[in-house]
Amino acid sequence: MSDTTGTLLSILKSQPVMPVLIIERVEDAVPLARALAAGGLKAIEVTLRTAVALDAIRAISEQSPDTLVGAGTILSPDDYQAAVEAGARFIVSPGATPALFAAARTSGVPYLPGTSTASEIMAAREAGLGIVKFFPAEQSGGAAFLKAISSPIADMKFCPTGGISLRNAGDYLSLPNVVCVGGSWVAPKDLVAAGDWDAITKLASEAAALR
């Protein structure tokens, strides 16, 4: 196992649910991260889907010391580097490309690529990674896919994401090859817009108690 896979596994094993966040207003970043950490979800993924995402990652890494912030929706090596410079402690992408595997090889910051087929999982394994995202999980075969893949590709671990909520998270978390699940349900858009941080802490506590 590579050092970065070891680092990533210890981050992802520390909680059953990884919040996947789309932050529209930079001023929401720190209170949102603190609300999630108060509920027990300290590792979070801020997606690079908004203009303020890098500033949000920077603010969280500087002002929410209990949080371990990662960056999602990394589509290029430039995104990878910008996210690391902003303070991201791990990097997530919806799929994977040779350029991103190369960026990961030369970075000390671990990479969690998205996969949804046996060949993509094998390519990540060949690149030296021991854990990948399974995305979009529900649309790509769900828990049944991960159960089926565990026999031919027995040494890979997964963080399924996409279409997962409190209702079906247990189907994934009960599988031995699943380390945690990702999901946006712990930070709903309306609660973030309303600044209802207590409600988000409650959702995070429910999620943190899974498994």
Catalytic (active-site) positions: 45, 133
Pull the structure tokens for residue 10.
Answer: 């210890």
Among 16, 19, 39, 94, binds ligand PYR (CB under 6 A): 94
Q: How many whole angstroms separate alpha carbon 56 and alpha carbon 29?
A: 5
Q: Which of residues 122-151 bind ligand PYR (CB under 6 A)?
A: 133, 135
Does residue 5 touch ligand G3H according to CB under 6 A?
no
Does residue 89 touch ligand PYR according to CB under 6 A?
no
**Residue range at the interface with ligand PYR (CB under 6 A); choices 8-16, 24-32, 92-100, 167-175:** 92-100
State the number of binding residues for ligand G3H (CB under 6 A). Answer: 9
- Contact between 208 and 40 under an 8 Å Cβ cutoff? The reply is yes
Residue 200 CB partners (closer than 8 Å, separation 6+): 32, 35, 36, 39, 186, 187, 191, 192
Element (H, E) at 98: helix 98-105
**Residue range at the interface with ligand PYR (CB under 6 A); choices 36-44, 87-95, 121-129, 191-199:** 87-95
Does residue 47 touch ligand PYR according to CB under 6 A?
yes
Choose between 152 and 178: whose C-beta lies nearer to ligand G3H: 178
Per DSSP (E only), the strands in the chain are 17-21, 43-47, 68-72, 91-92, 111-112, 114-115, 131-134, 157-160, 181-183
Choose between 62 and 97: whose C-beta lies nearer to ligand G3H: 97
Choose between 110 and 182: whose C-beta lies nearer to ligand G3H: 182
How many residues appear in the chain?
211
Q: Which of residues 157-176 bind ligand G3H (CB under 6 A)?
A: 161-164
The 3-class SS string of 49-86 reads CCCCHHHHHHHHHHHCCCCEEEEECCCCHHHHHHHHHH
Residues at the site binding ligand G3H, with contacts judged by CB under 6 A: 20, 161-164, 182-185
Residues at the site binding ligand PYR, with contacts judged by CB under 6 A: 47, 72-73, 92-94, 114, 133, 135, 161
